[in-house]
């Protein structure tokens, strides 16, 4: 029986602690096909409140097809096993079912950094790179995506490795840089220590660094001294949306 070609678009939603963004994605180009729309993450960010925002994005786009959503948590079979920067009531919640029920779409949910990782592997800084690639996103926390020959190993959560007696993300995230008023030089020392630890554990072939602070990578990447090449992410703030849409399309492709 011949394979039926699916549409080359899907809808991507990127859910974070401060904002929820969505757009239709052109899966052939790895870029947004419509303007990105963003709403503030509700507080408290309960399942019901966040689902309402997701439904609004989908409704306003007139979308009825495949839907991918990133979520700041360990995600296994659509269920949240942690909750970073969202309400703790998400823990144990079937995120996939919550979004499917309210949107009526075919939904795929995955960790936010994992989504960015697969987008960078297909269309960005890690395209065509064989071996082990580790994407690290520096933002409110530190997210990670671990890829082997372009294939995702999900839920690596390397931001929770220990650094100076704490979770690494409590010492070296970009939010910590801002909160403590650190200069790029001061902050880069912490990032160096953290990434050196990751390097010793995994001996990667490439690091990709993302998050909002990657836009200013020229101010801190040259301060790092690692054996592994380091590249700034190329898809920037669209990586999560693109990766989520990719995951949805490839899960439901027939």
Contacts of 111 (CB under 8 A, 6+ apart): 70, 71, 72, 73, 74, 75, 143, 145, 154, 155
In a domain, 35, yes or no: yes
Residue 25 lies inside a defined structural domain of this protein: yes
Tell me if 4 is assigned to some domain: no
Statement to judge: residues 132 and 182 lie in one domain: yes
246 and 224 within one domain: no
Q: What are phi and psi of 84, to 5 degrees?
A: -100, 115
pLDDT of residue 72: 92
- Return the closest-CA partner of residue 56 out of 9, 94, 95, 21: 21
Question: What distance in Å separates the CA atoms of residue 111 and residue 145, rounded to the nearest whole number?
Answer: 9
Distance CA 201, CA 186 (A): 24
8 A C-beta contact, residue 159 and residue 82: no
pLDDT in tens, 4-30: 345 699 999 999 888 999 999 999 999
Residue numbers in the chain where pLDDT is lower than 70: 1-7, 252-254
In a domain, 120, yes or no: no
Q: What total number of domains does the chain contain? A: 2
> Going along 30-117, which residue ranges are E strands?
31-32, 37-40, 66-71, 75-76, 79-80, 106-111
Q: Do the domain assignments include residue 19? A: yes
Judgement on whether residues 247 and 196 belong to the same structural domain of the protein? no
Number of residues in the chain: 254
- Domain match, 14 and 101 both: yes
135 with 99, same domain? no
Instruction: Supply the range of the domain harboring residue 79.
Output: 9-112+238-252
CA gyration radius, the chain: 18
- Whether residue 71 is found in the same domain as residue 157: no
Predicted TM-score (pTM) of this structure: 0.91
Q: Give the single-character DSSP code of 28.
A: T
Is 56 in the same domain as 76? yes
pLDDT per residue over 123-171, tens digit each?
Answer: 999 999 999 999 999 988 899 999 999 999 999 999 999 998 999 999 9
Taking the CA atoms of residue 117, residue 123, residue 129 and residue 131 in that order, the dihedral angle to the nearest 10 degrees is: 30
Residue 48: CATH number of its domain: 3.30.420.40
H or E segment to which residue 103 belongs: helix 95-103
Give which of 124, 133, 128, 183 is closest to 158, Cα–Cα: 133
Q: Are 119 and 63 in contact (CB under 8 A)?
A: no
What integer pLDDT is reported at residue 252 of this predicted model?
56
């Amino acid at each position: 029986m011949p394979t039926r070609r699916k549409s080359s678009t899907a809808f991507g939603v990127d859910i974070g602690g401060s904002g929820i963004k969505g757009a239709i994605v052109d899966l052939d180009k790895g870029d947004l096909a419509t303007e990105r729309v963003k709403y503030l993450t509700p507080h408290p960010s309960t399942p019901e409140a966040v689902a309402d925002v997701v439904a609004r994005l989908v409704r306003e786009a007139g979308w009825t097809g495949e839907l991918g959503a990133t979520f700041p948590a360990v995600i296994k079979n659509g269920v949240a096993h942690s909750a970073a920067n969202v309400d703790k009531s998400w823990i144990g919640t079937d995120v996939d079912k919550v979004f499917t029920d309210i949107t009526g779409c075919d939904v795929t949910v995955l960790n936010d950094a994992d989504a960015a990782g697969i987008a960078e592997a297909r269309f960005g800084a890690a395209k065509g790179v064989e071996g082990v690639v580790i994407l690290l996103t520096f933002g409110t926390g530190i997210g990670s995506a671990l890829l082997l020959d372009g294939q995702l190993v999900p839920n690596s959560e390397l931001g929770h490795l220990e650094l100076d007696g704490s979770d690494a993300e409590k010492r070296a995230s970009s939010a910590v840089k801002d909160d403590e008023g650190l200069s790029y030089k001061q902050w880069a020392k912490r990032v160096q220590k953290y990434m050196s630890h990751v390097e010793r554990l995994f001996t990667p072939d490439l690091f990709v660094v993302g998050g909002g602070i990657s836009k200013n990578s020229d101010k801190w990447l040259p301060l790092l001294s690692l054996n592994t090449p380091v590249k700034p992410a190329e898809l920037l703030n669209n990586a999560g949306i693109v990766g989520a849409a990719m995951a949805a399309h490839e899960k439901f492709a027939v």
